[in-house]
């Protein structure tokens, strides 16, 4: 969800106001993905690299995350959305940690769509912790398979992403789901996150529906999307 700072700059506002605008419209975006029956949506809200930002901005983002959960939780729950979390919550303030855990618990029985909040998440760190588990589990070298790693990632119980959307015009994944997105389709849009609305969700999904996914195979062999 990139582009909050630039959105604010363009309006002569403080970066914080861009973050706030970005958080305020999340509900409409989630609702549209749910209407399209997307089973799992992961939101990259705060990366392990974001700790390098000025302390005032970090503090604002942490408070904003808590406030957004407070404001949106009931509506999300009523809409049948299940909240999950990936990333290291130990490093965030206790109050936010408890809020996220309570939200996950409250919505655990919902099955319309899973919204997976990536907060203090880094794709490489996730692979590292999976490998640590693998070693701790005493897995022998011959048994170190892709599946053995995949099932130890924070996303173990979720499907690999089919579509990765990045707003804000940059063409990179910035340590998002680096392992999981190996065969994702990428959709880059210059639209800044606070301007990304339901119509942009539709546009991303239309573009996705036009892609022919081959997974490394050749067309005409069941892998060109025609079958
Ligand atoms: C939001 O956008 C990303 C977060 C870490 C919340 P940015 O804050 O990266 O906005 P730009 O890239 O400066 O426009
Ligand atoms: Mg940015």
Domain ranges (residues) in the chain: 4-159
The residues placing their C-beta within 5 Å of ligand 2, an ion, are 2
Fold of 4-159: Undecaprenyl pyrophosphate synthetase (3.40.1180)
**Interatomic CA distance for residues 187 and 210, integer angstroms:** 12
Q: Provide the residue-wise pLDDT of the chain in tens; the chain has 227 residues.
A: 999 999 999 999 999 999 999 999 999 999 999 999 999 999 999 999 999 999 999 999 999 999 999 999 999 999 999 999 999 999 999 999 999 999 999 999 999 999 999 999 999 999 999 999 999 999 999 999 999 999 999 999 999 999 999 999 999 999 999 999 999 999 999 999 999 999 999 999 999 999 998 999 998 776 654 44
Whole-model pTM? 0.94
Pairwise CA distance, residues 161 & 93, whole Å: 29
List Cβ neighbours of 121 (8 Å cut-off, separation of 6 or more): 44, 46, 47, 48, 86, 87, 88, 154, 176
Q: Closest-lying ligand to the alpha carbon of 4?
A: 1
Query: Rounded to 5 degrees, what angle do the CA atoms 148, 154, 160 make?
Result: 75
- Confirm whether 50 is a catalytic residue: yes
Q: Residue 194: CB within 6 Å of ligand 1?
A: no
Residues 6+ apart with CB under 8 A from 195: 3, 7
Q: Determine whether 221 is an active site residue.
A: no
């Amino acid at each position: 969800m990139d582009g909050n700072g630039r959105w604010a700059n363009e309006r002569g506002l403080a970066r914080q106001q861009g973050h706030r605008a970005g958080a305020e419209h999340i509900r409409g975006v989630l609702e549209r993905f749910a209407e399209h029956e997307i089973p799992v949506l992961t939101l990259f809200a705060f990366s392990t690299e974001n700790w390098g930002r000025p302390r005032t901005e970090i503090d604002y983002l942490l408070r904003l995350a808590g406030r957004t959960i407070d404001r949106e939780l009931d509506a999300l729950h009523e809409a049948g959305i299940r909240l999950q979390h990936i990333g290291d919550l130990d490093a965030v303030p206790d109050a936010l940690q408890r809020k996220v855990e309570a939200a996950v618990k409250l919505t655990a029985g919902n099955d319309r769509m899973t919204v997976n909040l990536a907060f203090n998440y880094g794709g490489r760190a996730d692979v590292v912790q999976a490998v640590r588990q693998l070693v701790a589990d005493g897995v022998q070298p011959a048994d170190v398979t892709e599946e053995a790693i995949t099932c130890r990632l924070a996303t173990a119980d979720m499907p690999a992403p089919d579509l990765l959307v990045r707003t804000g015009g940059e063409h990179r994944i910035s340590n998002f789901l680096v392992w999981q997105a190996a065969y994702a389709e990428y959709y880059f849009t210059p639209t800044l996150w606070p301007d990304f609305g339901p119509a942009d969700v539709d546009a991303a999904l239309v573009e996705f529906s036009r892609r022919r996914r081959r997974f490394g195979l050749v067309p005409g062999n069941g892998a060109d999307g025609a079958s």
